[in-house]
Structure 1
Amino acid sequence: MPTGVAIRDVREQLFAAAERVLLRDGPSALTSRAVTTEAGCAKGVLHRHFADFDAFLTELVLDRIARIDAQAAALRDAAGTGTVAGNLAGALTDLFGTVAVAIVGLITSRDELRARLRQVLPSGVPVLAEATAMIAAYLTAERGLGRVAPHADVDTLAPTLIGAGHLLFADRKGTPPHDEAVHRVVATVIAGVAP
């Protein structure tokens, strides 16, 4: 890109480029050069907007966590509609069918990124912790509506569902699981607490 030409929405373009690299080539291929090449801009563009590459990655993860917050609100709003298993299966597919699995791989592979995220998010694995909170809040809402048994251990069910969902989608090179497979896993996990 020629010098002096303004790039609109630079952060989002760089984040989208990073996601494409992550999904296509994995966390080990994610470098500042790979991101700027994918975005079609000079390497200096990234460093004009972020102190260093780990600062860029930290902002990328935090931006994607904010998207989970929006998903969480939509899932809570779905309480009382459809089926509990259907809503949960849809939420897991929406969550893990995107770049979330690759982001988790990125977080676990970069020590400096984890250290920076710990300053902002003190507990749990980022993305997975927020996703677990999303599922727990939904199950709590459904329990309040009587669609999940009063004795349901939401604090155990939520991470179980997230772990199972993560495993279903973890093979980023393979074929994503079919909706029926996700629904079957969800229905099995909640069988004792939701009709």
Structure 2
Amino acid sequence: MPTGVHLRDARQQLFDAAERVLLRDGPNGLTSRAVTDEAGRAKGVLHRHFADFDAFLADLVLDRVAQLETRASALRESAGTGTVVDNLTDVLTTLFGPIPVAIIPLITFRDELRARLRQAMPEGGIAILAHATAAISVYLADERELGRIAADADIDSLTLSLVGGGHLLFVDRDPDPPSRAAVNKLVTAIIAAVLTEPA
């Protein structure tokens, strides 16, 4: 039991350190040495828990995707409550927060990481975008079923517009993420025509 707790603690410390390095130095600055230095651990600690650095990065991404799954479930449960615009604003702000946005280029530029993620997940290497797309699509379909979105609304096109627009809005932050008002404005522009009740 204590060994398992120690392992989780070490993994979490390394994951948290990797996030700090990624946010501060970007994908190019994320090395095993940078992670262990940031965590205040010997370099061997990382290699004791992971086969290699790409295995560590794959587990980091999978761990963060699991956290996003929780938010995706909350989005689906919000169908029929609040407003559609507010619910989508909330989920875009979470799904494209600083860590997910920083992880996307990391996946894009590391071939071995993408390959490992394809083995671990059927949706492939860009897991965060895939999860965001699936969560929003299911939510919009639920709202259409509840009559808060027009019956003839094109869910696929709306989803792509929200995910693509949201991603671009958050990636283009300088230096801070967009304000809630900016995200709300984007969501409203995309879905206003299909809402059956006021935004």
**Superposition TM-score tier, normalisation by shorter sequence:** over 0.9
Do 1:36 and 1:42's aligned partners in 2 also have CA atoms closer than 8 Å? yes
Q: What amino acid is aligned across from residue 65 of structure 2 in structure 1?
A: I
Gaps of 5+ in 1: 1-5
Which residue of structure 1 aligns with residue 154 of structure 2?
153
Q: CA deviation at 1:176?
A: 1.4
Distance 1:7 1:54 in 2: 18
Which residue of structure 1 aligns with residue 15 of structure 2?
15
Q: Write the mapping of 1:1-195 to structure 2, written as runs, cut at 5 A.
A: 9-123=9-123, 125-171=126-172, 173-194=174-195, 195=197
Question: Under a length normalisation based on structure 1, what TM-score does the superposition of the two structures give?
Answer: 0.92
Percent identity, aligned pairs only, is 63
Question: Under a length normalisation based on structure 2, what TM-score does the superposition of the two structures give?
Answer: 0.91
Distance 1:69 1:7 in 2: 23
In terms of fraction of residues, the more helix-rich structure is: 2
Distance 1:7 1:142 in 2: 42
Do 1:23 and 1:172's aligned partners in 2 also have CA atoms closer than 8 Å? no
Distance 1:27 1:51 in 2: 20
Query: May I ask how many residue pairs the two structures share in their alignment?
Result: 190
Distance change in 2, residues 1:8/1:62 (3 Å): closer
Q: CA deviation at 1:7?
A: 7.2
Q: CA deviation at 1:173?
A: 4.9
Moved over 6 A (4+): none
Distance 1:105 1:158 in 2: 21
Distance 1:185 1:139 in 2: 16
Distance change in 2, residues 1:9/1:172 (3 Å): farther
Q: What amino acid is aligned across from residue 78 of structure 1 in structure 2?
A: S
